[in-house]
Copies of this chain bind each other. A is one copy, B any other.
Amino acid sequence: MKNRQDRLIFVTNDDGFDAPGLRVLLNVARRFGDVICVAPETTQSGMSQSITMYRPLFLREIAKEESNGLGSLERYAFSGTPVDCVKIAFDYFLKDRKVDLALSGINHGSNSAANILYSGTMGGAIESSFYNCPSIGFSLNDHSLNADFSHVEPFVERIIEAALGGVEIPFCLNVNIPTGEPRGIKICRQNKGYWREDFFCRKDPRGKEYFWLTGDFVNSEPDATDTDEWALANGYVSVVPVQTDMTAYEKIDTLKQMGLEG
């Protein structure tokens, strides 16, 4: 394993460059190497793996901190999505450097189950996994800005250590942390389910009707005990290994038998 002095770690998030959860992750990351953080200027929750195609983006240096018993830290804000942050980092100003690990989070709010599909945090983690380093997205099951992160560090450290211990690439984890002291770590699969929305419908100051998205997760398998949703609900840190092939392989033959090919 490399020494801390030789490691370069990339960090992003979706709550924005000054989110408390990001600060916690940066503190832990610096114990493992020098850290470059490129995070969004503004909140990007729910931005999934989206990219900014139709407008220019601006990069702003926030701060540089020298190594001080920890790895050095460079922080930047970028005016795009988490995936834009990953791309400007890996394809532009880290282009000729070897990155040893990419981290995203710690998100304020869980990204278990179908939430992975909408999550900007996981968008950033998944995108990072395309750049030949292990990547991990971390989320805490508490949406509030002043969420209590005091219990998370030992678990974040332990999972980072595992990822740095030599893993097969591509390697991407979706990690969700409960509120309160966890009972341990569970390796899980993604829970099946979906969201049903309940739109707020009000009138704006000029009398025009508007809609505001809100909703509830519907768990399609509430009795399953090997899922991230179950682990999180039962006080465990859930760890789901993530892949990006969305092919429904079991349906390929069915479609061929339907005579659709040819």
Contact = CB atoms under 8 A, between A and B. Distances in A.
Interface of A: 43, 45-59, 80, 83-84, 87-88, 91-92, 114, 116-118, 120, 123, 126, 130, 158-159, 162, 165, 168, 171-172, 174, 184-190, 192, 194-199, 201-202, 204, 208-213, 215, 239-249, 251-252, 254-256, 258-262
Given A196-B91, A199-B92, A247-B241, A50 B51 contact: no
A52 B213 contact: yes
6 contacts: A45-B53, A55-B212, A84-B213, A91-B197, A92-B201, A243-B251
Given A255-B239, A260-B239, A46 B56 contact: no
Contacts of A262: 184-185
Nearest to A212: B56
A185 B87 contact: no
Given A92-B211, A114-B244, A243-B246, A260 B162 contact: yes
Contact of A87 (B87, B197, B209): B197
Interface centre among A49, A116, A118 (most CB of B within 10 A): A49
A165 B255 contact: no
Given A185-B262, A242-B246, 14 more contacts: A48-B49, A48-B51, A88-B199, A92-B201, A117-B244, A130-B194, A184-B261, A185-B261, A187-B252, A187-B260, A192-B245, A239-B260, A243-B246, A246-B246
A77 to B, nearest CB: 13
A11 B4 CA distance: 53
Contact of A46 (B51, B120, B215): B51
B245 A241 contact: no
